[in-house]
Each structure stands twice: as structure tokens, then as C-alpha cells.
Structure 1
């Protein structure tokens, strides 16, 4: 059970009366950086979409596997867009288990997520937390925590895990991804997971979107072809764009078992 508000003090100013996607996601993952409005909205989300917790956990697990795979392949720089509230299995923990010198720039727009992350990571070298809107790539890329930490003359892995649904218009999403792509050199990876109806019915999708429409961050579920379009300019690595639990799993996962995650996931490498 998540704690009461007095156990987690929000930075000011934060409107704790309106639910927030990052804090709802934290609640689904069993975290503590959430408030009553977030928990109420998250429970409404579960009522509308019983798979919501499956989605959150599948995304988190995919992120871990993707980061570990990339570090083993020599990638040592990560730009984590919409990083959310820190929880077990953060990008820097996974990356540094394989390469202690790995650098990670976390970016999020949500004040609670940023404040919490800065408190937890304050003493770590090579790890930064930037408060910025990922929909403004110029602001993100020029922020000191990004520009002064990451060397964009070498490959940088751009992580966009469960964040692009919050850029509802496809043209804008493509433009946002394109701006980060343009900042990177060939060989840079793009890691994406995105909510999509695999087990969910059209009615459940509509209900889930309606719940999120009551928050400051409405979402859009995308079909597979629109998720794949986000990888324009990238070469998808095996196994391609697949249901999130089926991306290089630690054990065999069937399509039926993967469907409740309601997410596609993939990793691409920027072409030369």
C-alpha cells in the first residue's frame, strides 16, 4: 500500500489534487512517490483497464533488458527521456553493473519525479537529473545536465520507454524523435516502448484514454505501424518490434502471455 501524503513531502509548487501520469506509474510499480489523487486515478485506470499494472511492469522489465544489452555491446551513454520516479532497477544501476563508467542523463517534466531523483542521486558522479519537457528537444539537449554530461560525438542511447504516448499527435511525435535523432551520431541506439492494444478491447482503450484525459497528460494508444514509424532512420535489431515481454526475454514468453502488457517494444540503431 502506498503511504499517506505526510510520508512523502512534495516539492513546491506541486498540485497534489490532480493526478499525474508519472506518479500513477509509480503507484502501479509499487512505489511511494504518489498522492491520493494519483492513487484514485490509478485505481480508476485499473477498473477501466485491468492490464494497467501489467503494462507498467512489462515496460520496466524491457527497459532493464534493453539497457543491459546495449551496455554489453559497448554503449556507455544514456539519455533517459521521461525517466519518471526512481525505483528499483534504474538505468544507471543496470548500466553500471556492466560498465561502472556509464553515464546517464535523466530527464523528466514532473516536479515530484525530479525532486525525488535529485535527492536519491545527488552523490553520484556521471548521473544527472534535468527537469524539462521532452517535447522541447532543444531545451533538453542544451540543458547543462545533458550537454555537459553526454558526448554527442559518440553514440548516445536515447531511451523513450512508455513516454511517447504522451505526445498524442503522430506528426509531433515523429518531429520530437527526429530532433533527438539529429543530435546523435550513427550507431546511436533508440529504445522505444509504446502502449498498443494487444489484449485490450476498443472499449477498454477508450475508457483508459478517458481516465488519462482527466490528468494534465492525456495519452494516445498507437497501432503497431505508427510505433514502427517512430524508428524512421534506425535499423531495428533482432527481434524487431515485438510485444514488450517478447523482446529478448530471460525465458520463453508466448504471444498469449505477452498480450496483457499491451505494449510494443524495440531497439533500433541509427543508420549512417
Structure 2
């Protein structure tokens, strides 16, 4: 079953410090500082309504770190990070450029605080840039000056879609959105997707978290593991496939983490 929360168009919102924003809430979950009181209150309320939200956010960030290192190991030296969010420790360019100083990254986000913070963080870094845009505007993103300057779409790249698709309602056809980006990727590119799912819980357990996100600038949609896996059809899945993110190539010495909020993730190569 697909549980769809009331759809809201993800335009580049005007900054409203009094209305919670999921990107800033996520920043708070990760211990960042680019958030407002309304975001902090909503994030704490979300953790009370559905304990485990904060742990899932941190596990997803760790998954991102491992994925970028894996892609770098496969020879990928350019990345497009869609819905990149507010920058906190462990951004794609930091991970990639620590291994390959010539790696290039373009971040895309519609949240003004995320864009401003990214611009500040990336000042002086000629190999990374932030694009203020809605990820559903595929052609505009792929033809943006930042992309044309830093990325070569005729060569393999790493496409990152970390926890952004839950904010794309069914009315905006996430299947087609993923397919349009994939169509622009050169063979040998990699796709990473992570996506939370509460489909195994009943409505009494999830009503609170949905209500909180409905009051934010970007409501959420839950999808099953099978639906998430469908976005990788036709690609070469990297083992172990579509799994809870803590099970994807865990670092040696990582303590086992059991997420109450399943967050599924996978990486696949474009043949």
C-alpha cells in the first residue's frame, strides 16, 4: 500500500522561519545549526510522535558517506546531489575531494537556508557549487550553468537522491522523474536512492508524524520497499541490493543499529 500525504508543490519557498521545513529539521536531527525554533520544535515533536526519526536521519547520513566512498572507488569523480539539504559535516564534496581533490559536485536544493549555507560553505571551492532549484525541473537543472561548468554528462557520474523522493508526491510522478534523470546519465554512472517507509505500521502509529509534516513546507509520502526497488529496474544493482541503509556495506567496527523507522537504500550502475 502507498500512503500519500496531502500533496504540496515544492516551489523554492520564500524563507519562513515560523513554519517548519524538513531540510532544516533534518539539519537539526544531524546536530546542525542552520535551523529555527519552529524547526527544532517540530523535529522534537516528530521524534515523540514516531521515535526513531532522528536515528534514521543519522543512519541515512552514514549511508551517504559510504556510498560516495564506494563511487569514488569505482572511478566516479563527479556528482549531482539532488535535494542536498542544509550542509552539515560529511557533505558529498568533503568526502569525495578528501580522496580525489579533483572531484566535482553540484548540489541542488529549493530551500533558501540550504542554498545560502551551501554558498557560504563552498566559497572558494572551484570544484563544487549549489543550484537553487526544484528537482522536478529536470531540463532546467541539467542545463544550468553550474552543471555545464562542473559536470560532463557524457562521462559517468554519481546521481545522489538521498531522502528527497519522500517529498515528491504521487501527483508529481516520481517514477517518471527518476527515469528522466537516468536517461541523461552516461553508461557507467551510478544512482543512489534512499527513502523512508512506514508502510508496515498501522495508521494509529503514523498519524502523528504525517500531521507534523503536513504542517511543514513539504509533506511526505511513504513507499514500500518494492516500490523503491522498482526505480532500479534495468540497472545493475550493487550488492546487497535494496536494504535497510545500515545493512549496506557497513564500516568495519560499526555497532549494529536496528532502525525502528525503516530507511531503505540502494546503489546501482547504469549499464
TM-score, with structure 1 as normaliser: 0.90
Is the counterpart of residue 270 in structure 1 residue 270 in structure 2? yes
Structure 1, unaligned runs of 5 or more: 1-11
What do the CA deviations read for 1:19-66 (whole angstroms, capped 9, x no partner)? 101000001111100001111111111111111101110110000000
In the alignment, structure 1 residue 181 sits paired with structure 2 residue 167: no
Aligned: 1:208 with 2:209: yes
Runs of 4+ displaced beyond 6 Å: none
State how far apart, in whole Å, the 2-side matches of 1:170 and 1:67 are. 31
State the alpha-carbon separation in 2 of the partners of residues 173 and 67 from structure 1. Answer: 23
Match in the other structure for 2:168: 167
Compared with structure 1, are the counterparts of its residues 168 and 17 closer, same or farther at alpha carbon in structure 2 (3 Å cutoff)?
A: same
Count, aligned residues? 259
In structure 2, the residue matched to 1:246 is 247
Instruction: Tell me the distance in 1 between the aligned counterparts of 2:35 and 2:172.
Output: 32
Deviations 1:78-134 (A, max 9, x none): 000011111111101111121111000011000000001101111001101000001
Deviation at residue 211 of structure 1 after TM alignment: 1.0
Quickly say closer, same or farther: Cα 1:207–1:172, change in 2 above 3 A: same
Gaps of 5+ in 2: 1-12
Pair 1:97–1:199, CA change in 2 (3 A): farther
Bigger RCO of structures 1 and 2 (CA < 8 A, at least 6 apart): 2
